[in-house]
Amino acid sequence: MKRKILMGLCLCFLLSLFSIPNVYATTCTWNAHPYLDYDFWDISEHRATDGVWDVMGFQWGDPDTENASGFSYGWQDGIVSIWIGDWEGDLYEGTTVGTCRQGVASTQWYIPTYQPPPLGFGGKSAVTLNSRVRIDSRYTPPGGWSNALFDPWFRVKSTYRGVTKERLMVWDIVWGWSSPIPATPFIRNYIDDDEKLHIAFLLNDLAGVGNWKTYTIDFLDMAEKARDIGKAWAIPNPHGPDTPDPWSFEVNNLKLYSIEACFEGYDYNAQFSVDYLEVTFEYAEGGGGGGGGCPYVSVWDGEEYRLDNNVLPSSEYVGGDVVDYYELRRDLVRENGKYSLLVSEFENEHSYLDQIQLLTVDHESDADIAVSPTGEILTYKNPVPPVSAINREGENLTGTLRGADSCFYESYEGDYVTLNFGNLNISNGAKLLIRSDFGPKKSPIYIQTLNSTGHWNTVATIYVRRYWYMDIVDLSPYLASDGGELKVRLCFVSNDKIDFVGLDTSKNENFETQYANLASAVHSVDGNVKSALSNDDDVYAELVPDQWIELKFTPPQQTLAQRNFIIVVKGHYVTEGG
């Protein structure tokens, strides 16, 4: 007997940069079908404790047999899929991608009768995978291994070995692992051939046997990581010689066709349940590329301006001018001896910009740098995740917040998360790092520590930005170094997202800062505004929707091994019509 699982999906419009109406989210529901080869698989219905029907997938052969696989190589088995779009013809060796790959068994592929166009990853709308899964049983004898995966399948216009065309890409997002050997050596990025690329992501919070695990995964953040992996270094090829060539693509060229929950491995027996598999999209009606107010900064990458993040996020809370210190996420590429930035206004805000500066931070390669909301530059090396992270409802978020893996927790108004970092030695420093992204609206996160009377006091505030960003705050003055447990509380007033929190206890390393010279500032309508932006003097350059300012900076000579950039913006914005 077979039962369909309802999966959530909403459609997203292809977005174009610098045109951003109000952003909102909506959800539609699709039917997704568990696919099993009936000659080799058994499928049964199982009633969960919460009353939700779950699909149970069994490994090849008799599920009651300890070693039921009986084959010499592993394939993906026990597939539950969301079908999103038509593959537009055969793509890879004549198979329909999105079900299990063809192996020793003869298979009949399930092909949905309704196949709309694929989802385009244009602009920067939110794309989130939500799923609740459970490994019910798993047996892996010595020498065997298995992992549980979410597998999104894409087509993407990409350049590889000098040839630009549309190719296949799949992400192996590992949520469960079984082997005497740690998962890390086996989780690899690789190229099947010139037509197909695998990018692997190992979630920090892996599912064990017997317990439900809920995952919320930011697909757009993961897409940016996949792009950087493909461009930055050679990808090992298990089927032939490693290639020295990058696999280059842009996020806005990704087309999502299907998403699977499945198992793969060698010599194993496993059974798993899927409560739900849902994809939600937050998009701007009629197109857009950003969202959430504030002016935005984009970085010239040698070919085009790439959207980086919003600036002045605290303006609407503080009132009047604020000074915003933002470490650029993207690499600046020098052209004609200068670095170029673009500051743009997207929505219905009117921005008043008093001064814009570009600060270079040179440091050694054995440490990273970050800047606090107050402009304090701090170095960090190995931030330690909390030993426990519990929200207001008592939910354990410890695994979710262990790494910047795009698997995140979303807060709510009135929520808080209490972090316990245990008995760390903080004699050299105590720097809190938080990676966050805002939800439907911008909002602050209040950072609290316990005072001498045992009450929580707010000691710092971070203002969450539109796209993922790592904030840092020096908590050394507020945490006791007496060897007791180090506790911190994060308080929320909205639906903010966090996927990593850590406490770095290393000393502050040497770094050198210099300001780049502002060579030019050209407004898209008003022309030369360099004099207005050069000094802190309450003389403003203004931006209304669909306007921008192009800034060019002459950088100082680099003095240490590595260089980061911080843009410093003084100004404020108001909402048009209010």
Are residues 232 and 379 located together in one domain of the fold? Answer: no
Q: What is the CATH number of the domain that holds 378?
A: 2.60.120.260
Are residues 320 and 433 located together in one domain of the fold? Answer: no
Is position 404 within any domain?
Answer: yes
Are residues 249 and 280 located together in one domain of the fold? Answer: yes
pLDDT, one tens digit per residue, over 67-80 is 333 222 233 445 55
The answer to whether the CB of 170 falls within 8 A of the CB of 79 is: no
Is position 412 within any domain?
Answer: yes
Q: Note the pLDDT of residue 440.
A: 64
Is position 290 within any domain?
Answer: no
Q: Note the pLDDT of residue 113.
A: 41
Is position 351 within any domain?
Answer: yes
Is position 183 within any domain?
Answer: yes
User: Which residue from 326, 318, 352 is spatially nearest to 568, judged by alpha carbons?
Assistant: 326
Supply the range of the domain harboring residue 386.
368-504
List CB contacts of 461: < 8 A, sequence separation 6 or more.
Answer: 373, 444, 445, 446, 447
pLDDT higher at 31 or 163: 163
Mean per-residue pLDDT for 419-432? 96
Are residues 253 and 300 located together in one domain of the fold? Answer: no
Q: Is 274 helix (H, G, I), strand (E, B) or coil?
A: strand
Q: Note the pLDDT of residue 127.
A: 80
Q: Over 60: is that where the pLDDT of 64 sits?
A: no
What total of structural domains would you count in the chain?
3
pLDDT higher at 493 or 133: 493
Is position 499 within any domain?
Answer: yes
3-state secondary structure 42-64: CEEEEECCCCCEEEEEECCCCCC
Q: Over 50: is that where the pLDDT of 250 sits?
A: yes
Are residues 441 and 536 located together in one domain of the fold? Answer: no
pLDDT tier at 85, thresholds 50, 70, 90: low
Mean per-residue pLDDT for 315-336? 91
Element (H, E) at 230: helix 219-232
User: Which residue from 303, 309, 288 is spatially nearest to 569, judged by alpha carbons?
Assistant: 309
User: Which residue from 376, 411, 405 is spatially nearest to 390, judged by alpha carbons?
Assistant: 411
pLDDT, one tens digit per residue, over 174-186 is 999 887 778 877 7
Is position 460 within any domain?
Answer: yes
Q: Looking at 442, 477, 504, which one is the last position of a domain? A: 504
Q: Which of 88-97, 169-178, 279-288, 555-564 has the lowest mean pLDDT?
A: 88-97
pLDDT tier at 27, thresholds 50, 70, 90: very low
Please state, as a whole number, how many other Cβ atoms lie within 10 Å of the Cβ of residue 76. Answer: 17
Q: What percent of the chain shows pLDDT beyond 90? A: 46
Q: Looking at 284, 317, 346, which one is the last position of a domain? A: 284
Q: Which of 26-30, 185-189, 293-297, 299-303 has the lowest mean pLDDT?
A: 26-30
Please state, as a whole number, how many other Cβ atoms lie within 10 Å of the Cβ of residue 461. Answer: 16
Q: What is the CATH number of the domain that holds 10?
A: 2.60.120
Are residues 90 and 147 located together in one domain of the fold? Answer: yes
Q: Is 514 helix (H, G, I), strand (E, B) or coil?
A: strand
Phi-psi region of 529 (alpha: psi -120 to 50; beta: other; left: phi over 0): alpha
The answer to whether the CB of 220 falls within 8 A of the CB of 171 is: no
Alpha-carbon span 360 to 338, nearest angstrom? 13
Q: Note the pLDDT of residue 191.
A: 76
Q: Is 7 helix (H, G, I), strand (E, B) or coil?
A: strand
pLDDT tier at 552, thresholds 50, 70, 90: very high
Q: Note the pLDDT of residue 413.
A: 92
Q: Over 60: is that where the pLDDT of 60 sits?
A: no
Q: Over 90: is that where the pLDDT of 12 sits?
A: no
The answer to whether the CB of 122 falls within 8 A of the CB of 16 is: yes
Alpha-carbon span 165 to 194, nearest angstrom? 11
- What does residue 570 show for φ and ψ, rounded to 5 degrees? -110, 130
Cα 1 to Cα 46, 61, 185, distances in angstroms: 11, 18, 39
Alpha-carbon span 360 to 202, nearest angstrom? 33
The answer to whether the CB of 266 falls within 8 A of the CB of 144 is: yes
Are residues 554 and 526 located together in one domain of the fold? Answer: yes
Alpha-carbon span 331 to 302, nearest angstrom? 10
Q: Which of 243-257, 451-465, 536-550 has the lowest mean pLDDT?
A: 243-257
Q: Note the pLDDT of residue 541.
A: 97
Q: Over 70: is that where the pLDDT of 214 sits?
A: yes
Are residues 276 and 397 located together in one domain of the fold? Answer: no
Is position 381 within any domain?
Answer: yes
Mean per-residue pLDDT for 114-118? 51
Alpha-carbon span 446 to 460, nearest angstrom? 6
Secondary structure (DSSP) of 287-352: --S--SSSEEEEEE-SSSEEEEEE--TTHHHH-S-EEEEEE-SSPP--BTTBEEEEEEE-SSEEEE
3-state secondary structure 519-559: EEEEECCCEECHHHHHCCCCCCEEECCCEEEEEEEECCCCC
pLDDT tier at 125, thresholds 50, 70, 90: low
Q: Which of 57-66, 188-197, 365-374 has the lowest mean pLDDT?
A: 57-66
> Would strands 247-266 and 5-9 be described as parallel, antiparallel, or unpaired?
unpaired
List CB contacts of 546: < 8 A, sequence separation 6 or more.
Answer: 18, 19, 345, 346
pLDDT tier at 235, thresholds 50, 70, 90: low
pLDDT tier at 359, thresholds 50, 70, 90: very high
Alpha-carbon span 52 to 274, nearest angstrom? 10
Are residues 441 and 539 located together in one domain of the fold? Answer: no
Q: Looking at 457, 475, 504, which one is the last position of a domain? A: 504
Are residues 120 and 207 located together in one domain of the fold? Answer: yes
Cα 385 to Cα 183, 257, 457, distances in angstroms: 20, 35, 22
Are residues 334 and 396 located together in one domain of the fold? Answer: no
The answer to whether the CB of 497 falls within 8 A of the CB of 439 is: yes
Alpha-carbon span 11 to 536, nearest angstrom? 45
* Mean of all residue pLDDT scores within the chain: 76
Q: Over 70: is that where the pLDDT of 323 sits?
A: yes
Alpha-carbon span 540 to 574, nearest angstrom? 14
Alpha-carbon span 286 to 308, nearest angstrom? 22
List CB contacts of 380: < 8 A, sequence separation 6 or more.
Answer: 367, 368, 369, 370, 431, 433, 472, 504, 506
Are residues 299 and 278 located together in one domain of the fold? Answer: no
Q: Over 90: is that where the pLDDT of 367 sits?
A: yes
Q: Over 80: is that where the pLDDT of 280 sits?
A: no
Q: Note the pLDDT of residue 57.
A: 33
Q: Note the pLDDT of residue 375.
A: 97
